[in-house]
Amino acid sequence: MTQHAPVVPVTLDLREFRRAPRSTDECLALWERLEPAVLTLDPLAGPRVRFDLGDEGEVGVWFLDPATAPRPLGAATRFAIRGVLEPPEIRHACTTCRAARITTYAPYKCPGCDEGQRMGRVCEAHAVFLDGSLRASCPSHTPACRCGTKAVAWCGGPNCRTRKAWCETHLRRHPGDPTVADCEDCYAERFPACEHERCTGSGYIRCEHRTLSAMKPCGRRICTEHARRWQVYGSYNRGLALCTPHHQQLSSTSPEGLIDMILAGTVARSGRGRSATRRRVQLPRISIVRHILINTRRTVLDMEAIDRLFTALEQGLSGRTPRDTNLSTALDLLAGHRASRHEDIERFREQHVEGRGHYDRLLQELRRGGRHELAGAVEFSDFRPRSRILFVRVPEHLQGVFRGKGGSSVRQLEQRVGVKIQVERG
């Protein structure tokens, strides 16, 4: 059996060779020139050898496994070129430098340097970056503002979204960070002026006033200082934001109108209407609505009267056609509200009996102290068994006398009656 001579693996280092082969045949032709000199070498003596080829430069031969190579090398020795180290080649050349007959590596793309089949390139020396984006361009294709002047920054506002560049004249700098700039329209959207007279604050909040017949909100922009929250969903949820004119109108709005506003605002926040927010809310219980009416317009209604207002509203909406998404959502909310209304009515009746007992003891204490005018003016409003709070109505001109200096009179009455006493606004 014939044994073949072992193959000697080598790598050609052509990084200093000026005429790097472009094909397999050219590579083999170069090796045929080098092989006679390679056969005279001892791989163990120098695993890396360089050959000077004059004007063509140098070629290096690396023995990859010198220990297994036969010694001495001879005409029968077989070689295998396992790798070729070629001189570096700039494949992405700067278009601007190339016009000046200079080849420079260009890591960035310039959309304006269109070379027909691919986008042009720009080197680090010629790359132009505008504030607001890492998008590059060459000096000749720097984006221009709409006025024709070279732009200085991309606008990242809600309308432009870094798709439009602007000059310094048409930019407005961020009030807290001058490195961030927006065009006039985007600035007005991100930092709207408060519509309150002579206010310099930003109107981040929009007025949420709306009705079921006109679901589009007021939308007037107001700052945090001038925004008014109508707390209709309890103390742990954000109330409806109102501008000053609409907040002032609450006291003159009828109970039916206030409930209509509460329902419209709840539809918008329920997560199902056209202008829904992410956080869903439900209609407030009529026990809360009762106090809303008292605090807003000084109107005292019992639970049955408030339930009738909701029932009349539901019946009126049921007769409307055609039905849109907001109307269907309103009817769903009212239908789901019926059970809690009935619970509140029954609970109010039970609490009314217990509360009346505390109220009678309050009147007795007032008469025992000789405060007969107060005893004849104080009226029962509500009682909360869990918190043991007795709500009473006192005429405004007698409230100071009823409370006493620093609330001392009320505290004495609370100790004698055995419950907390709170004066309703109505």
- Going by their DSSP bridges, the two strands 78-85 and 7-13 should be labelled as parallel
- Shared domain for 170 and 100, answered yes or no, is yes
193 DSSP assignment: B
- Shared domain for 143 and 111, answered yes or no, is yes
70 DSSP assignment: -
Residue 362 identity:
L
User: Predicted confidence band at 235 (pLDDT cuts at 50, 70, 90)?
Assistant: confident
- Shared domain for 65 and 121, answered yes or no, is no
**Would 48 be classed as within a structural domain?**
yes
- Number of separate domains in the chain: 3
Structure tokens at 33: 């020139």
- Residue after which a domain boundary falls, among 143, 168, 190: 190
Examine the pLDDT at 325 and tell me if it is beyond 50. Answer: yes
Q: What is the DSSP string of 1-59?
A: -PPPPPEEEEEEE-TTBSS---SHHHHHHHHHHHHHHHTT--TTT-SEEEEE-GGGBEE
- Shared domain for 104 and 184, answered yes or no, is yes
**Would 15 be classed as within a structural domain?**
yes
Examine the pLDDT at 275 and tell me if it is beyond 70. Answer: no
pLDDT of the residue at 91? 85
The model's pLDDT over 154-210, given as tens digits with 9 standing for 90+, comes to: 999 889 999 999 999 999 988 778 888 899 999 888 888 898 888 888 888 999 999
pLDDT of the residue at 1? 44
Tell me how far apart the alpha carbons of residues 255 and 293 are, in angstroms, rounded to a whole number. 7
Phi, psi for 113 (deg, rounded to 5): -85, 70
Mean confidence (pLDDT) of the chain: 88
**Would 282 be classed as within a structural domain?**
no
Give residue 46's domain range.
7-85
Task: Give mean pLDDT, residues 412-426.
Answer: 87
Sheet holding 58-63, edge to edge: 48-52, 58-63, 7-13, 78-85
The model's pLDDT over 66-110, given as tens digits with 9 standing for 90+, comes to: 988 888 888 888 999 999 998 888 888 998 998 889 989 999 999
- Shared domain for 72 and 115, answered yes or no, is no
CATH of the domain at 384: 3.30.300.20
**Would 35 be classed as within a structural domain?**
yes
- Shared domain for 48 and 69, answered yes or no, is yes
- Shared domain for 71 and 125, answered yes or no, is no
Examine the pLDDT at 247 and tell me if it is beyond 60. Answer: yes
Tell me how far apart the alpha carbons of residues 14 and 51 are, in angstroms, rounded to a whole number. 11
The model's pLDDT over 195-211, given as tens digits with 9 standing for 90+, comes to: 888 888 888 899 999 99
- Shared domain for 30 and 107, answered yes or no, is no
- Shared domain for 63 and 149, answered yes or no, is no
Examine the pLDDT at 279 and tell me if it is beyond 60. Answer: no
**Would 263 be classed as within a structural domain?**
no
Examine the pLDDT at 337 and tell me if it is beyond 50. Answer: yes
Whether the CB-CB separation of 166 and 174 falls below 8 Å is answered with no
- Residue after which a domain boundary falls, among 175, 190, 205: 190
**Would 280 be classed as within a structural domain?**
no
**Would 126 be classed as within a structural domain?**
yes
Phi, psi for 175 (deg, rounded to 5): -60, -25
- Shared domain for 121 and 73, answered yes or no, is no
Tell me how far apart the alpha carbons of residues 136 and 143 are, in angstroms, rounded to a whole number. 10
**Would 300 be classed as within a structural domain?**
no
397 DSSP assignment: G
- Shared domain for 103 and 184, answered yes or no, is yes
Examine the pLDDT at 273 and tell me if it is beyond 70. Answer: no
E strands within 115-148?
Answer: 119-122, 128-129, 136-137
Q: How far from each other are the two terminal CA atoms of the chain, in whole angstroms? A: 117
Examine the pLDDT at 269 and tell me if it is beyond 90. Answer: no
Task: Give mean pLDDT, residues 292-320.
Answer: 89
- Residue after which a domain boundary falls, among 166, 190, 214: 190
- Shared domain for 99 and 147, answered yes or no, is yes
Tell me how far apart the alpha carbons of residues 229 and 344 are, in angstroms, rounded to a whole number. 25
Tell me how far apart the alpha carbons of residues 20 and 382 are, in angstroms, rounded to a whole number. 99
User: Predicted confidence band at 4 (pLDDT cuts at 50, 70, 90)?
Assistant: low
E strands within 155-197?
Answer: 165-166, 171-173, 181-183
| More confidently predicted of 123 and 300 | 123
Whole-structure pTM over 0.95, yes or no? no
